[in-house]
Structure formats: structure tokens, C-alpha cells
Amino acid sequence: MSYEEIIFYIVAAVAVIGALGVVLAHNVVHSALFLILALLAVAGVFILLSAEFLAVVQVLIYGGAVAILVLFAMMLTRVRDMPQALDGPQRPIAALAAGAFLGISILAVVTTDWPGETEKITVIPFRELGDALFRTWAIPFEIASLVLVVALVGAIILARGEEGE
């Protein structure tokens, strides 16, 4: 077991604990905090994948913006934190479905013969990533920005209420 693997297991464990916390916690705020933990751990995973830029983006956006947004929403909607209020009646089936999906997916992953070298990571130069983003993938980029504008405007209108203009 090499160093990378050990580090990977640690980071993965943290991420999984965070995810478990999100879905199992009895306190909403705890769920939110677990979410932040999970998101940051995933950033770590990104670093292990030599996608540092994405790791940074992840921390900034998710950890910075999304988590705060979620917490604010929680505050505004006064989510209670009693156990029966948090988990819906579908719990057993949900567990079953999720478990089934997990089983199938792991089966698929493990039994597939992945093409190419599956052991070596190719580091992607940052400069070329930027190049690609603004040249080859310029149109999706522009559309993404359009999506953001739409979401922005939409959120403002929806959240404002009837009495506003």
C-alpha cells in the first residue's frame, strides 16, 4: 500500500462520514455542517486527482457560497429538528433502493475492464485547461454564464414576494 493510497483512504473516509452525516443527522444544522465537511473532503479528492484548480473552485463555491446559502434557507424556513419531522415515511424503501443501486454500481465498476492505463494519472497543465475552456469550449462557457444570469434573475423574482415590483 503506497502513500497515496493511505492518504486516499483517509480523505475518502472523511468524505463518507460527512455524507453519512448529511443524510442521517437528526439536527438540521448538524446536517449542514456535515455537508461542508463532505464538500471539503471532496476537494481533497480532487487534489488527489491532480485537478487542483477544481479543488480550489470547489472550496470557493461550495464551501463558501452554497453552504452559506443552505444555512440561510434553513433559518428562513424554520426547519424543526425533531427526528420524526426529518425523515419521511419512505425511509425503508429508500434504504433498499439506495442499497440496490450501490450494489449494482459497485458490481459494474469492479467487473468492468476499463480501457487504457488505469493506474497512472496524467497531470493536466493548468494553462492548457484554461485554453481549452475559452477556446474549444467557449460556447458552453457562455451558456453557463447565461444559466447563471437566469438563475439569478429567477431567484430574485421568486424570492421577492407579491408585494414587490
56 binds other proteins (CB under 8 A): no
Rounded distance between C-alpha atoms, residue 70 and residue 32, angstroms = 7
138 binds other proteins (CB under 8 A): no
Measured in residues, the chain has a length of 165
Rounded distance between C-alpha atoms, residue 80 and residue 78, angstroms = 6
Torsion of CA 60, 62, 64, 69, to 10 degrees: 150
Minimal distance, residue 34 CB to other proteins, in Å: 9
Q: What DSSP character marks residue 85?
A: H
Residue choice 14, 30, 52, 54 for contact with other proteins (CB under 8 A): 54
x/- letters, 90..129, toward other proteins (CB under 8 A): xx-xxx-xxxxxx-xxxxxxxx--xxxxxxxxx-x---xx
Residue choice 10, 16, 26, 142 for contact with other proteins (CB under 8 A): 16
Q: What is the per-residue DSSP string for 110-163?
A: HH----S-SS-PPPPPHHHHHHHHHTTTHHHHHHHHHHHHHHHHHHHHHHH-TT
17 binds other proteins (CB under 8 A): no
68 binds other proteins (CB under 8 A): no
- Are 14 and 43 in contact by the 8 Å Cβ rule? The answer is no
Minimal distance, residue 165 CB to other proteins, in Å: 17
51 binds other proteins (CB under 8 A): yes
Total residues interacting with other proteins, rule: CB under 8 A: 93
Residue choice 127, 139, 158, 164 for contact with other proteins (CB under 8 A): 158
Residue choice 144, 163, 164, 165 for contact with other proteins (CB under 8 A): 144
